[in-house]
Structure 1
Amino acid sequence: MLAMPEVNYIKHLRENEDLSINEISRKTGCNWRTVKKYADGEVSQESLSSSKKGMMYDEGYGEIVDYWLEEDMKLKRKDRRTNKNMFEQLKREHGFKGSYRTVCDYIQYRKPQMKEEKTTRYERLDHPPGEAQVDFGNMTVVKDGAYKDIKALILSFPHSNAGFAYPLPAENSECFLEGLKQLFYQAGGVPTYLRIDNLAAAVISIGKGEKRTYTDSFLRFQAHYNFEVQPCNPASGHEKGNVEKKVDYTRNNLFTTHPIMEDFPQLTNWLQEEMTKDRNRPHYEKGVLIEELWEEDKNQLKALPVSNLPIYSIDSLKVNKYGEIEVDGEKFVIHKARIKQVLILKKEWNQFSCITNDGEVIYQEFRAYMNKTRAIPWDDILNDWEKKPRAVKYSRFYKYLSEKIQVYLIMKPEEIKKRVKGLRKLLEKYALDEIDEVLGAEGRIEREPHELGYILEAKAATYPEKIREAHTPGVLLDYEIDLNTYDKKLCPSLEGGIS
């Protein structure tokens, strides 16, 4: 089986240089059948094998050494730490368990890169139609009455300045590739060239010049969608300046007042509509509508592949002695697994599955970051509203309240201040959704805040619902005792019986 870079090269010769199978076989030295398999066949999915990068990368020691090297570059040569000094300092201060040779190899690899990063060369870039740039941006939305931090993957086309956006919960490999795939489908084609920076989701390590070591999953994705990569030099954001500006533009125009998010599909549809509307404005430099220039870009896009490429990663893990596994830093109990059983872990962008060696899915759950939120500081907001009650309905936070609470606050303009103060008091003990539920009952919208407090307190004190169980015979369920029967037996005279 060929490595992904070799597969990628064969596909490049077939698709972009239009070589025959025989010509590719002669050029690469590979068997004709092997070339035929990879040139015209589908890209194989990821197997269970996973590669480790070593403790300098995985355990963060490389970052420490990078900082020391950068710090020492500002000193005279005689004052800089030697490799031996760094090794001893790592052991003494950071509990490093590796060898001296490991540290030396890493320093020998990183020093030339860091020197190259110091030499920055700026040049004016010309962008023909069909070329694109991609990058992540941090955005904030409101979901279920709380802030949620998300990532927006932005795809921009510098020739036309057209942009596409796709919301995601994180910046890992599965999210990046899933988002990029969806952006290609939104654009209706695949860019000829795609400029990316050194995203950890796609790049393992950086070599000299444009040499990069990409992840197998990214190379598989690239081979399937057949585009060329233009990597940026380290610390050279200007080389993808169009997408950098598009990220800022999207944040300033669509996320300054945080939009309300029901779920990711709803937010995706909203973002797509807004980015489509944005194309109906003049290009900042060319004076032509972006939509017209986008047609030129669109005509140069490569066709989307016929088959869809599922995006996921495969790993294996062992159930611990408590019956737990750890995914994304969170522990999950797997009731159907044995202690120390090895499971296959399939991770998609939004969920993960645990699979036995027989192929049975025994557990499936959303990934931990799907449910992470930050509380909105309602106490501070309501405090401001209490001082300026007439500004309530104009506040950016007003729309984050439920419709019932909105109506409750402003239905009587002369009582806004009192109701805001009452709501603030209720929030000390109850959640917004509990207050919203109480207001939903008929006639309660007219109640005073302290009356709502009594209702909420009484509701909290009610007995729990009857526990459902399957052991009691059906004839006894909801059986009501007739006390008259007992009266007849105990006092027959009262019913006309014989004493």
Structure 2
Amino acid sequence: MLAVEQINYIRHEVNQKGETYASIGRRMGVDPRTINKYANQEEFKKKEKQKRKSPIMDPVKPILDKWIKEDLKKKKKYQRTAKRMFQQLEKFHSFKGSYRTIRDYVSQRKSELKESMSDASLPLESFPGTAQVDFGTAPFKYHSEVIDLPYLVMSFPYSNSFYFQVFPSENTECLLEGLQRIFRYMGGVPRTIRFDNLSPAVKKIGAKGERELTDTFERFVLHYGFTYEFCNPGKGNEKGHVEAMVKYVRNNFLLPENTVLNLDQFNQTLWGLAEEDRERPHYEKEVVQIQLFKEDQESWLMLPEKEFECARYMEVKADKYGMVSIDKKQYSTSPRFAKQKVRVCVTYNNINILTENNDIIVRHSRLYGMKRKSMVWQPYLDLLSKRPRAIKYTSLYDQFPSLWTDYLADCTEEEQKSALRLLGELLKNDDFSLLNEALQLASSHGHPSVDQIKHCFYSLLNQDVVHRAITPKVSIPTVPDVTRGLSHYDSFFQKEGSINE
């Protein structure tokens, strides 16, 4: 086909100047019949490319499209090559065409599908396979007390569906733990997820809107491979679907207050609630939401084989008592790490104190709420049982329950060693309650021995607290009060002759 400028020249020379087709043809080096065609053509419609049927390629195109869509959900190293697809077509579908034809088709379709998926992420609300995330807050009953706890909601605007999980905080570890739980439960990863500018994810917003992500969130995104989007500051309406879903979840599932004894067990019940809710018709599309959710699923990315470690690591220096401060809470390590640096692994529910080789020194349940200090006694008791005199020169003496500090103060050095060994043996979960009862019971007739405390402890543990009174058959002489310490040895150093007197 000639260029527009050439066609205009031909029409001007023939129709305006009266030149012959042959003379213009010689001048332009074009066949006179072509000059005739363009000089007299009345319509200049765009010529549609004819699509010829291909008896060899047409039957396998749907198969190739399916394979390409499946592979685009995977990491590149797990995607099939055009050659591999060609081999599978030959082996399983009796394909008789050439490898070059398959290679060209796969290359073209991959480009088209990638472009289509890229366009589909904007606007987020209109396409399957996308999600929005935000936290809400609801009241819960915990040990007869009403407390507010955050819950993480992931909503799917296309199908009007959701999942949610309750956590003790809105920190980075809780956010990532919640996202990973949802990914793993539903067996896929949304292609695009829109967030508010949550502090667990965004460290800083630049002048031109660039986001500096927190290190852990950035690694989480790389691990799961989804595309993240953030709302403009103060524009919460840009994630309006999840904001509406946060209210829907609270009103329909979390009010009035749920009683929570174990948060992990409670969260297990929430999956079914979300899936039952999907049985209702979509508010706009007049289709049951579960059908639309299946379209969401078809567009998700595949899960990576390994889970992400939703934890952050840090180095902190212990004080002179071996205590470290994490997020303004105090956690014990061990006396041997006093004034030394230790490695800490922080998860949403645990604080693990580690050695340089990542061996666990001690594990704490992570503190939330008003409690400020977590003390694991075993590492300290082991040391103190070997050096009981040192206890009076440390703050640990004051951190024992007062019942035990009074008892230890009245003990000899050997008794202190035995008592501290007993505490190390019997103290479970750093709860002194049963040991306090045992000491009180054993002290009812004076200063008890370690064996007496141990006996009372196991009696209480086995609920054997009934003690029958012993009626003596013979008269027992009155035993004088015991004087603790060294004064009762004075009788051995009386003056000579006093015995005969």
The two structures have a TM-score, normalised by structure 1, of 0.52
Q: Which amino acid aligns with 1:241?
A: G
Residue 339 (structure 1) shift: 2.3
Please tell me whether residue 339 in structure 1 is matched to residue 328 in structure 2: no
Partner of 1:292: 291
Q: What pairs with 1:75-474 in structure 2 (closer than 5 Å)?
A: 126-207=125-206, 211-369=210-368, 464-466=440-442, 470-471=450-451
Q: C-alpha distance in 1, partners of 2:232/2:77? A: 25
1:260/1:471 Cα in 2 relative to 1: closer, same or farther (>3 Å)? closer
Q: Which amino acid aligns with 1:215?
A: T
Q: Which amino acid aligns with 1:338?
A: F
Residue 188 (structure 1) shift: 2.1
Q: C-alpha distance in 2, partners of 1:207/1:474? A: 63
The question of whether the paired residues in 2 share the 8 Å contact of 1:279 and 1:289 is answered with yes
Q: C-alpha distance in 1, partners of 2:232/2:366? A: 33
The question of whether the paired residues in 2 share the 8 Å contact of 1:350 and 1:370 is answered with no
Report the 3-state secondary structure (helix = DSSP H, G, I; strand = E; otherwise coil) of the residue aligned with 1:466: helix
Report the 3-state secondary structure (helix = DSSP H, G, I; strand = E; otherwise coil) of the residue aligned with 2:150: strand
1:339/1:273 Cα in 2 relative to 1: closer, same or farther (>3 Å)? same
Report the 3-state secondary structure (helix = DSSP H, G, I; strand = E; otherwise coil) of the residue aligned with 1:363: strand
Q: C-alpha distance in 1, partners of 2:150/2:336? A: 34
The question of whether the paired residues in 2 share the 8 Å contact of 1:13 and 1:19 is answered with no
Question: What is the CA deviation profile of residues 145-184 of structure 1, one whole-angstrom value per residue up to 9, with x for unaligned ones?
Answer: 1112211110001000110001111111111111110011
Report the 3-state secondary structure (helix = DSSP H, G, I; strand = E; otherwise coil) of the residue aligned with 1:484: coil
1:339/1:192 Cα in 2 relative to 1: closer, same or farther (>3 Å)? same
1:291/1:473 Cα in 2 relative to 1: closer, same or farther (>3 Å)? closer
Residue 209 (structure 1) shift: 5.2
Residue 312 (structure 1) shift: 0.6
1:12/1:131 Cα in 2 relative to 1: closer, same or farther (>3 Å)? closer
**Sequence identity (%):** 32
The question of whether the paired residues in 2 share the 8 Å contact of 1:164 and 1:186 is answered with no
Q: What pairs with 1:42-61 in structure 2 (closer than 5 Å)?
A: none
Q: Which amino acid aligns with 1:223?
A: L
Report the 3-state secondary structure (helix = DSSP H, G, I; strand = E; otherwise coil) of the residue aligned with 1:257: coil
1:298/1:175 Cα in 2 relative to 1: closer, same or farther (>3 Å)? same
Report the 3-state secondary structure (helix = DSSP H, G, I; strand = E; otherwise coil) of the residue aligned with 2:348: coil
Question: What is the CA deviation profile of residues 259-303 of structure 1, one whole-angstrom value per residue up to 9, with x for unaligned ones?
Answer: 111211222122222111111111111121111111111111111
Residue 371 (structure 1) shift: 7.9
Question: What is the CA deviation profile of residues 351-387 of structure 1, one whole-angstrom value per residue up to 9, with x for unaligned ones?
Answer: 1011122433222111111787xxxxxxxxxxxxxxx
The two structures have a TM-score, normalised by structure 2, of 0.52
Residue 17 (structure 1) shift: 13
Q: Which amino acid aligns with 1:466?
A: A
1:14/1:323 Cα in 2 relative to 1: closer, same or farther (>3 Å)? closer
1:237/1:474 Cα in 2 relative to 1: closer, same or farther (>3 Å)? closer
1:463/1:219 Cα in 2 relative to 1: closer, same or farther (>3 Å)? closer
Q: C-alpha distance in 1, partners of 2:281/2:454? A: 74
Q: Which amino acid aligns with 1:342?
A: K
Report the 3-state secondary structure (helix = DSSP H, G, I; strand = E; otherwise coil) of the residue aligned with 2:309: coil
Report the 3-state secondary structure (helix = DSSP H, G, I; strand = E; otherwise coil) of the residue aligned with 1:250: helix
Partner of 2:472: 483
Q: C-alpha distance in 2, partners of 1:133/1:484? A: 82
1:480/1:130 Cα in 2 relative to 1: closer, same or farther (>3 Å)? same
Looking at both structures, which has the greater relative contact order when contacts are Cα pairs under 8 Å and sequence separation is at least 6?
Answer: 1
Q: C-alpha distance in 1, partners of 2:193/2:263? A: 25
Question: What is the CA deviation profile of residues 116-152 of structure 1, one whole-angstrom value per residue up to 9, with x for unaligned ones?
Answer: xxxxxxx976421001011111121112211122111
Q: Which amino acid aligns with 2:230?
A: P
Q: Which amino acid aligns with 2:188?
A: G
Partner of 1:411: none
Residue 15 (structure 1) shift: 3.8
Report the 3-state secondary structure (helix = DSSP H, G, I; strand = E; otherwise coil) of the residue aligned with 1:200: coil
The question of whether the paired residues in 2 share the 8 Å contact of 1:336 and 1:362 is answered with no
Q: C-alpha distance in 1, partners of 2:124/2:454? A: 80
Q: What pairs with 1:17-36 in structure 2 (closer than 5 Å)?
A: none
Question: What is the CA deviation profile of residues 41-95 of structure 1, one whole-angstrom value per residue up to 9, with x for unaligned ones?
Answer: xxxxxxxxxxxxxxxxxxxxxxxxxxxxxxxxxxxxxxxxxxxxxxxxxxxxxxx
Residue 484 (structure 1) shift: 2.7
Report the 3-state secondary structure (helix = DSSP H, G, I; strand = E; otherwise coil) of the residue aligned with 2:320: coil
Number of aligned residue pairs: give it: 288
Q: C-alpha distance in 2, partners of 1:353/1:159? A: 41
Q: C-alpha distance in 2, partners of 1:213/1:351? A: 27
Q: Which amino acid aligns with 2:288?
A: L
Return 5+ residue gaps in structure 2 as ranges. Answer: 1-71, 82-121, 372-436, 460-466, 478-501
Q: Which amino acid aligns with 2:263?
A: F
Q: C-alpha distance in 2, partners of 1:474/1:164? A: 50
Q: C-alpha distance in 1, partners of 2:134/2:303? A: 21
For structure 1, which segment, 297-306 or 319-328, has the greater mean C-alpha deviation from structure 2 after superposition? 319-328
Q: C-alpha distance in 2, partners of 1:236/1:253? A: 26
1:208/1:192 Cα in 2 relative to 1: closer, same or farther (>3 Å)? farther
The question of whether the paired residues in 2 share the 8 Å contact of 1:174 and 1:349 is answered with yes
Report the 3-state secondary structure (helix = DSSP H, G, I; strand = E; otherwise coil) of the residue aligned with 2:178: helix
Q: C-alpha distance in 2, partners of 1:474/1:305? A: 52
The question of whether the paired residues in 2 share the 8 Å contact of 1:328 and 1:367 is answered with no
1:473/1:164 Cα in 2 relative to 1: closer, same or farther (>3 Å)? closer
